[in-house]
Each structure stands twice: as C-alpha cells, then as structure tokens.
Structure 1
Amino acid sequence: MPTQLLSAEQSTALGTKPHYAILDGLRGVAALMVVVFHLCETHATSHLDQVINHGYLAVDFFFLLSGFVIGYAYDDRWNGMTLKEFFRIRLIRLQPLVVLGMLIGAALFYFQASPAFPAIGQVPVWKLLLVLAIGCTLLPVPLSMDIRGWHEMHPLDGPGWSLFYEYIANLLYALGVRKFSKTALAALVVLAGAALIHFAVTSKGGDVVGGWSLEPTQLRVGFSRMMYPFFAGLLLSRVATLSRVKNAFLWCSLLLVLVLAFPRVGGAEHLWLNGLYDSLSIVVLFPLVVWLGASGHIARPGTARLCKFFGDISYPIYITHYPLIYTYTAWVSATRPTWQQALPVALLTFVTAVALAYACLKLYDEPVRKWLRRKLPVMQ
C-alpha cells in the first residue's frame, strides 16, 4: 500500500485524502540543491562557469509542484470553502516563515559588510527596520530602498521574491483560474509555455535566471517563470492518470539532481541552446518528474521517513538559508579563498542551513501555525 504525505498544511486541509510522500521528498531534494547552488554561485565568475549550473531551475520546479498540490488539495473543495478560508489557509502555511526569514536576514545584515556588499556600512538602522517591516508583509520594496545593492525586492532574504509570485499565483487561482475548464486551462498553459520558451531562448543570458527585482525586465522574468509551471502543475493534477512506479523516489531524485546539476549548454557562442535546455526542463522534464513521483509508492519505512524529513525541512530551508549565503558571500569576498580553502566553510554553511531549518520548523513554524489555526480556525 502506498505511503503518501503532502505538507503539514495539506494534511490539515485534506483530512483523510491520500497524500503524496514522494512529492514531499522531491521538494526537499530540490531545496537542498538550491543551497548547494547558491554556495557554488559565490565562487562563479558568470553563469557560464557556475557549478551545479542549473540549480536556479529548482524555483520553476517548486512552482510546478505547488500548482499540482494546490489543484489536488482544493479543486474539489470550493462548494464548502470560501475565498477567505482559502487565503487564511495559505497565509497560515506560508507567512510565519516569511517573517522569520526576514528577521534572520536583519539579524545578520551588518555582519555582511564586505567588498561584495559595500553599501551595507552606510545603511542606517531606521532604514533596515523599515525594510524589515515591509519584508515581513512580503510586499516588494522599491529600488530606492535597495539596502544591499543587488536590486532585490527583498534585500534581507532574497528568496522572498518567489514567495511573492507564489502568492500572486494563488490569487489568480482562487479568483478565477479555479473555474477554468480543462480546455481553457490547457489554452492558458500553452500560451504561458510559449511565452516562457520565447523568453528563455531570446534572453541576454541564455537562461531564465531572474525575477527578484521590481525592474520591468525582471518582472517579465518573474511572471514568465511563474505562469507556465504553476498552471501546468494545476492542469497536471486534473488530467493525469497515475500509474504505479517502483522506486519512484530514487529515480525521480536522480533525474531532478541531474537536471539541476547539468553543465551549461551551448557556451557563450550559442546562448539560445541553454535557453532551449531550460525550456525542455521546465516544460517537459519537471512535469514528468511530478507525474512519476505522484505515481510512485514507498515500500520501505526508511524511505518514508526520509521523504517526510525532506518535506518537513524543504520550505524552512528555502526561506531561511539565504541570509547564511549572504554571510558566506561576504566572507569569500573579503578573504578571497581558493575553492579548496573555502570548502570546509561551505560545508559548515550547508550543515548550518539544514540545522537552522529544522530548528525553525520545530521551535517556531509548527507551534506558530498550530496557534494560528486555533485563533483563526479553518475548515477541515
């Protein structure tokens, strides 16, 4: 019998509905790859020589997985669920860790002054606190309040940009797309896919990297990266016929790691080839991974425990690790170590990120969400 588990939020929302443990595990695999990608990114001189080259595609995988889960969890509940209840469920699930990620970013901010972040030393405390207050709402800050110098909409915790688009996707789903027929949804997905592919193959960098700034070109990147995968995941949840795939977690994990770690394609001479690779990954391979993961079953208790652990820490590690990356980047910028010299510190940063995520989950996120569900009850 399959052992399946979605996130803790989905367990609350779905009651006795079957859960997908393998998808939880894959979300954790992708989150861990993001940490490794960001550590390696510190030592890269450009996208061309980045190790774990396509780790940025994990965000697109998260969007697709989120669309699949949202459709599976909520499509059949709208007769008894109001918009207010849906948004309350999503806020309880996402917002506590958004706040904590911003607080961690603020606590470490002044320790990150370095050649990589020359503006930090001139930032007054009042401005830091204002950016923190805005960041806790997940509203993007304007470029005039860029206190780090990277043009981020959330300069205390960069990955907040993708949560900003996650909220937009949830709004679009709840306010209209949930009512789309399969045909209408398929048309939306095709149009969004065409826009994504066009951007990927024509972008100046030859990839889909970006989306974290309020600049017009970056907003296009953000919406392009969100629209196709999220609503493709939603469509997949409605039309997919699941099978029974043995060892699905192993094979899906290997495929996901291969896609994210694959070397740069095409080089500087043929940037569009890498855009095609990004397109193939997002449009074809990621839906395949999610379908295989949803079709799989877990026969061993050890695998079930691993998937649960990976799923539990996936969101906490994603939203809390980047302040550590800022700090690691500042250290590398100031000391200029070789990769061999930096490796022990990189490993320590990775382990710290995992430990911090688990501590945030157990000591903060789970208790806060439990308290919020008591104070703001939602339908079961």
Structure 2
Amino acid sequence: MSEQARPRPSAPTGLIPSLVGIRGYLALIVVIVHLAPYAVAMVPATAGFFVPFWHHGYVVLDLFFVLSGFVISSGYARTFARWPGRATFGKFLWARLSRFYPVHLAVLAVMVAAVLVSRALGDEIPHGGNLTWDLLRQITLTSGWGGAHALTWNGPVWSLSAEWACYLVLPLLLPLVQRLRTPAACVIGYLVACAIPLVCYSFLGFDDGTITYEMPLPRAFGAFLAGATLFQLQSVGSRIPAALGRVTGPVVAVAFLSIVGIAALGHPSMLALPVVGLVVPALAQRHGAVDRFLSTRVSLLGGEYSVALFLVHVPWIIAASMLINPRTFPGSGWGVVGILLLVAGSFVLAWLAYVVVERPAQKWMRRLVKRAPGAPRKPVEERVEERVDVTSHGRSDAGK
C-alpha cells in the first residue's frame, strides 16, 4: 500500500512542551558561543570546551529558524492558507512583536544611555555602533536584512530582525508550502528549503560576516521555510514524522554528530542543517526520554526566559568584561570565578528583564487588540506561555 493511500494521522497540534523547553537550551548554547572568547582569555585551559562551541555552535540559530517556521505554521496554517485580511495579519504581527520587542527596546535604551555616559566620561563601550543609521536599523528591526558593515549595538538582534522579515512575508510563504500535497513533495520541498542558504553561501562564503550581517536573509528564509515544510509533511499524513518521533534520542545524537563530523572534515557546520532540522518534527511527536526531559518544569521555564536571555547576555558580557577580565581576575582560580560571574549575571538579568519588562509588556500589548475574525483562538506561543504560568505559578492567565 502506498504512503498516500494509508490513513492519514493528524499532525500534533496545540502545546508541544518539548518545543518550548528546547528553546532555553539553544539560548544557553548561544550564550556559550558569545562567552567563549572571554572565557578562554581568562582560563586558557577551558579552550577545549569553549572553542568548539565558539566556531560551530552558530548552527543552533539555524535550528531556531526551523523551530519558528514549524511552530508558526502549526498555529497559523489555516489562517494564512489565503490572504487573511489586514486585521488578522496585523494582529499576528502585533502578537509576534509583543514576544520580544519591549525587551529589545529596553536593552537598547540602556545601551544607548551607557554609551552616552561613557563618552561623556572620555571612554567608549566596545561595539556601540553609531547613533544614527546603526541605531535606526536596530529600532526598526532591519539590522538583520543584510548590507550591514558589522554587528552593532545588541548584535544578536540580527536574528530576530531576520525572523521578523519571515513574518512579514508569511502570507506568501504558507500558501506556497501548502501547495505541497504529498509526502514526496514535502520531502523535496524540505531539501530545497535547506538548499537555499547552503547554495547561496557556497558562492557568497560561509564566513561569520556574510551569514550574520552582510547577507543573513537566505539563512533565515531557508531554515524558516524548512520548518514550515516539516509541519506540512505532518499535515499531509506522512508517517516519516512519527517514525522520527519513535527514535527522538538517536535523531538528536545524529544531528549532533553530523555537526561534529562536518566540522572535523573542515567544512562549514551549516551543511548539517538538513539533519539538524529533523530534531523539530521528532520532538513534535511527544515521545521518548528526550521529549520528557525537555518537557520538565525547569526546561519549560528555560524556554520561557529564552528571549530575555538571548537579548541581555551580549550587552552584559561586553559591559562586565571591562571589570571581569584576566587583569582583574588573574590565574585559573580567579578566572573560573570570573566566568561564573559572567554566566550568573546573564541569568539574573534575563530573569529581571522577563519579570519587569517582557511579561508585563506582552500582556499589555495583547490586551490592546481584540481577536480578529478568522484568527486562531489563541496563538500557539500564547497558549504555551499560559501553560508555563500554570506550571510555575499555579495559575493561568487564560480569560483575562
């Protein structure tokens, strides 16, 4: 019996806890990537741990894009099957902004103030950027659209900017993906989507500048489209996602080993994208020990704080390194203390940013708009956040 002729299992819908929990661990890897040069400078003996993350951990951002494409598609596939109307599209964009924009603006405001104060004192904070074009691109979320000369101000925002570009063209992307009506077409579509960045950067170069600030959109669009195609693969009734879900642990292990193997051969780690992306549909099946681990209360909280951690850690590390460095923390013993302080400060600031800015601002922004006709009852991530509230605080914000 052909795969198309078999009964089609329904794709998992609603809350997928492990896809929330994994965000925190991916954000942690990003922190390690950016911490690496400071850690190695303070404690050279840690190079064996930090250097591989430093050079190859950037692939987690590609997994972030795949994850986003999958989750957004699962929540809005019907809404964007055709043009949803300005009201629904506007509400969708507003909901996405509410997730990260308030924290982004708060962190950016602190950075601008710090740069102005330091200049008044005759000093300069590294990577400050200018107060005109670079700052404008950060405010308008266009710093990750290419053509930049460097990562300025809050560097990691480039990826949120590139993802924002994906949101802006979502009414064009999802109808295109939904034209893939068979498992075979979806598999081909997934490989084509993964090929978009890999082929582009084969010509442009896989260097850090090209894939982060000079030309990052092929990377974002390709991986985001790959995630949307993986959700479509479930929607057409393919048994491939279910098969992946039965071996989630091995899928994660193979994804990791593919990065290691490709790096060992001297090739760009991004070439592992087609394998790494399969982690998302495997986890979406909600089976196995890895799924249970990523669905624990600690993992869910990590996923909830991931945006804040992502946005605060680089400004904190850059600022703190002016006081926490090999000169002020000499030797391996004090160097380890310095590394721990940099890590702890990132977590503390992320918690403060979440509690003081992100969560209150998100609730306020979403209360400003009413549910548009034809929109999903609630976006997937909003239902996720309510479930995390139940887990961590013993109550739900539903119905407020």
**TM-score computed with the length of structure 2 as normaliser:** 0.69
The alpha-carbon deviation at position 225 of structure 1 amounts to 1.4
Work out which of the residue numbers 28, 31, 38 in structure 1 matches 2:27: 31
Q: Which amino acid aligns with 1:236?
A: L
**1:296 aligned counterpart, secondary structure:** coil
Counterpart contact for 1:298–1:304, Cα < 8 Å: no
Report the counterpart of residue 150 of structure 2 in structure 1. Answer: 151
Counterpart contact for 1:89–1:378, Cα < 8 Å: no
Q: For the residues of structure 1 that align with 2:145 and 2:293, how far apart are their CA atoms?
A: 48
Q: Which amino acid aligns with 1:318?
A: F
Q: For the residues of structure 1 that align with 2:353 and 2:305, how far apart are their CA atoms?
A: 9
Report the counterpart of residue 370 of structure 1 in structure 2. Answer: 363
Q: Which amino acid aligns with 1:66?
A: S
1:69 paired to 2:66: no
Report the counterpart of residue 299 of structure 2 in structure 1. Answer: 307
Report the counterpart of residue 336 of structure 2 in structure 1. Answer: 343
Report the counterpart of residue 90 of structure 1 in structure 2. Answer: 96
Work out which of the residue numbers 154, 158, 161 in structure 1 matches 2:158: 161
1:193 paired to 2:190: no
- Structure 1 pair 348–190 and aligned structure 2 pair: CA distance change class (3 A): same
Report the counterpart of residue 232 of structure 1 in structure 2. Answer: 226
Q: Which amino acid aligns with 1:158?
A: G
- Structure 1 pair 253–39 and aligned structure 2 pair: CA distance change class (3 A): farther
Q: For the residues of structure 2 that align with 1:90 and 1:331, how far apart are their CA atoms?
A: 36
**1:42 aligned counterpart, secondary structure:** helix
Q: For the residues of structure 2 that align with 1:122 and 1:170, how far apart are their CA atoms?
A: 28
Q: For the residues of structure 2 that align with 1:122 and 1:37, how far apart are their CA atoms?
A: 17
Q: For the residues of structure 1 that align with 2:70 and 2:52, how far apart are their CA atoms?
A: 29
- Structure 1 pair 265–329 and aligned structure 2 pair: CA distance change class (3 A): farther
Work out which of the residue numbers 220, 223, 230 in structure 1 matches 2:217: 223
Q: For the residues of structure 2 that align with 1:168 and 1:59, how far apart are their CA atoms?
A: 15
1:21 paired to 2:14: no
User: CA RMSD of the aligned region, Å?
Assistant: 4.2
Unaligned 5+ segments in structure 2 are 1-11, 42-46, 378-400
Q: For the residues of structure 2 that align with 1:252 and 1:362, how far apart are their CA atoms?
A: 35
Q: For the residues of structure 2 that align with 1:371 and 1:358, how far apart are their CA atoms?
A: 19
Q: Which amino acid aligns with 1:289?
A: V
Rg larger in structure? 2
1:171 paired to 2:143: no
Work out which of the residue numbers 40, 55, 67 in structure 1 matches 2:57: 55
Q: For the residues of structure 1 that align with 2:230 and 2:247, how far apart are their CA atoms?
A: 21
Work out which of the residue numbers 85, 101, 105 in structure 1 matches 2:107: 101
**2:142 aligned counterpart, secondary structure:** coil
Using the TM superposition, name which of 77-86 and 17-26 deviates more. 77-86
**TM-score computed with the length of structure 1 as normaliser:** 0.72
Q: Which amino acid aligns with 2:160?
A: L
The alpha-carbon deviation at position 302 of structure 1 amounts to 9.8
Q: For the residues of structure 2 that align with 1:41 and 1:260, how far apart are their CA atoms?
A: 21
Q: Which amino acid aligns with 1:136?
A: I
Q: Which amino acid aligns with 1:77?
A: T
Counterpart contact for 2:23–2:306, Cα < 8 Å: yes
Q: For the residues of structure 2 that align with 1:350 and 1:274, how far apart are their CA atoms?
A: 30
The alpha-carbon deviation at position 66 of structure 1 amounts to 0.4
Counterpart contact for 2:108–2:154, Cα < 8 Å: yes
Unaligned 5+ segments in structure 1 are 1-15, 267-272
Using the TM superposition, name which of 178-187 and 100-109 deviates more. 178-187
Q: Which amino acid aligns with 1:346?
A: I
The alpha-carbon deviation at position 238 of structure 1 amounts to 1.1
- Structure 1 pair 190–291 and aligned structure 2 pair: CA distance change class (3 A): closer
**2:154 aligned counterpart, secondary structure:** coil
Counterpart contact for 2:145–2:162, Cα < 8 Å: no
Taking the TM superposition and a 5 Å limit, the aligned residue runs for 1:349-368 are 349-368=342-361
1:94-147 C-alpha deviation (Å, 9 max, x unpaired) = 32122123124334446889xxxx8649989xx648855653332339999x9x
Q: Which amino acid aligns with 1:97?
A: V
Q: For the residues of structure 2 that align with 1:313 and 1:344, how far apart are their CA atoms?
A: 24
Report the counterpart of residue 269 of structure 1 in structure 2. Answer: none
